[in-house]
Amino acid sequence: MSNAMSERAEHASRRPLWPWQVLLLVGLFLFWHVLTRSEVLPPFFFGEPLQVLGRIWDWFASGRIFPHLGVTLLETLLAFVLGTVLGLACGLWLGLSPRAARLLDPYITAFNSMPRVILAPIFAVWFGLGIWSKVLLGVTLVFFIVFFSVYHGVREVSPVLLNNARMLGATRTQLLRHVYLPSATGWVFASLHASVGMAFVGAVVGEYLGSARGVGYLILQAEGVFDVNTVFAGVIVLTLAALGLDRLVTLVERRMMNWRPKVQEHDLHG
Amino acid sequence: MMRGHPANSSIVARFMSSAPQSVPALVLDQVTCTFPGRGSTRAAYTAVQAASLTVHDGEFVSLVGPTGCGKSTLLNLAAGLQAPTAGTVHAFGERLRGLNGQAGYLFQADALFPWRTALDNVAIGLELRGMPRSQARERAGDWLRRVRLGAHAAKYPHEMSGGMRKRAALAQTLILEPRMLLMDEPFSALDVQTRQLMENELLELWAQERRCVLFVTHDLEEAIALSDRVVVLSAGPASRPIAHYAVDLPRPRDVQEIALHPRFVELHRAIWSALKQEVMKAHEQRDV
Ligand SMILES: Nc1ncnc2c1ncn2[C@@H]1O[C@H](COP(=O)(O)OP(=O)(O)OP(=O)(O)O)[C@@H](O)[C@H]1O
Ligand SMILES: [Mg+2]
């Protein structure tokens, strides 16, 4: 609670930026509106913002969007959680056993540099058109982000902290639980913002390549009948959902990382 | 099994057990520590060679020597964090293999766990030994009050001052009641006032239950004020103890007052003349 209070105080001391951000958005839509209304840009290809907003309103008012959005979010969340847990576990494991790391090194590099989106059709064949083929695609994207940050982070755990824990009587498993894991949460959170976006990409691309539900599926269908407005509406809904998820990660991060000194990023730039 | 006892009974027990036969708390016998060079770019470096040192139970011994001579290395050898290349280390009569379970170690660098509050940092040792969390925190609270941090139990390390962090680290180590305390320049990062305050506090804590202490410092005055014995190490490489000075100053001491004692001044002059030569040697080697 006191955390939120101090944050609010901090915000009040700075001039709020959100009115400008909203103004920028409105300006952008206005620009779009004027260009397409005056036919400088053909509305057939570039859509019409009023129609797009109307479509979004329609979706939410009628509730038609919710099953689709629900499926996409479920896929994203599953991919995110599974990818993070797997990445964390493998990162810790390989970070702590250099022998295994050396053995697997070329495979990890190869798999990481492979364009994994290409796997989507294969996953569709293996796991069908349900949610799991999308989840798996998301997992392969999320996994490596988390894996690498944990894997490199493990080598940077302070040797003094490790020695201190050992002198205080920590066994090997206790070291993992009381030193490596808490250190790792820092690196994981640093990568979570990137990976939540990737989980989303996995879900939507998966849907786009073949599915019966989801926002990606809506976009695919609209493209089939050259309904550009619906495509844009879908993109905007996805963007808003991604922003929401990112915000959620930030909130959890603040809660879990309250032992860290507050970084004054604004002071650094200003 | 817990090592801890109520404070009073452990003092009595220690008096009775240490009276008849006194096994030295720590014996370094002809230990050598060579760090392998990395690849072909650097040769192996022998930090400590044929070093012998005995610390008796209840004794407060300080190690002084030029920077980089191997003081921390000797502590690591005593803690079992570093295995000797040659020679043996015995703790309370038992040959060390792996960590020294009898020792508590106060590190030169900050070693509090940043994700734990002061209270949880102090409690961690007991938790690791399987004590229930609530009980461990209760005992930790007692210890925080003993090092005068009672009001700061909920603070994270980054919210504490340097002196508070050192106090918390001291409580973190002492709560386990180690029979031997290894301290690596614990106060060198503190300002003079805080430092003298903490030196007096350390003497007070030490007087309550005379554990043996091996104390590393750059500061000769600190070494004399605190110790029963000051050991001078030679300049590296191949450093070893070259002179021992018994500090026959009365106890209890106050670090500020004791510095004015004529005997203190005498000891300081004698030890400094030995130490100075080593510091000069170390300096010349660096210039070459
Ligand atoms: N892991 C290591 N690998 C290689 N050389 C090392 C290692 N640890 C220490 N040394 C070398 O051993 C020597 C002694 O180091 P040590 O840390 O014991 O010095 P010190 O007396 O504690 O110095 P200071 O007073 O500055 O803390 C130094 O020359 C150092 O470079
Ligand atoms: Mg040192």
pLDDT in tens, A92-123: 899 888 888 889 888 888 888 888 888 888 88
Ligand 1 atom nearest to CA at B33: 12
Query: Residue B151 CB: number of other CB atoms within 10 A?
Result: 10
Residue nearest to atom 3 of ligand 1 (CA): B35
ipTM rounded to 2 decimals: 0.85
The residues near B79 (Cβ < 8 Å, ≥ 6 apart) are: A167, B99, B100, B103, B105, B182
Give the span between the Cα atoms of A264 and A255, in whole angstroms: 17
Q: Residues 156 to 175 of B: which have CB under 8 A from any A CB?
A: 156, 158-159, 172-173
Nearest residue of chain A to residue B123 (CA atoms): A168
Name the residue among A160, A165, A182 with its Cβ closest to that of B115. Answer: A182
pLDDT at B17 over 50: no
Which uninterrupted H or E stretch holds A202?
helix A181-208
- CATH architecture, domain A64-269: Orthogonal Bundle (1.10)
**Residues of chain A under the 50 pLDDT cut:** 1-2, 265-270
User: Given phi > 0 = left and psi -120 to 50 = alpha, else beta, which region is B238?
Assistant: left
Smallest CA–CA separation between B114 and chain A, in Å? 7
Note whether B158 and A261 are within 8 A (CB): yes
CA of A168 to the centre of ligand 2 (A): 20
Q: List the domain boundaries for chain A.
A: 1-46, 64-269
Closest chain B residue to the Cα of A162, Cα to Cα:
B111
Q: What is the dihedral of CA A126, A128, A132, A135, to 10 degrees?
A: 80
pLDDT, chain B, mean? 86
What is the tens place of the pLDDT at every residue in B167-220? 899 999 989 989 999 999 988 888 888 888 889 988 988 888 888 999 999 899
In angstroms, the CA B134 to CA B139 distance is 9
> Contacts of residue B104 in chain A, CB cutoff 8 Å?
167
Q: SS3 of A113, please? A: helix
What is the pLDDT confidence band of residue B12, given thresholds at 50, 70 and 90?
A: very low
Map out the domains of chain B with their CATH numbers: 6-99+221-287 (3.40.50)
**pLDDT at residue B9, as a whole number:** 43
Q: Give the residue whose CA is nearest to atom 23 of ligand 1.
A: B68
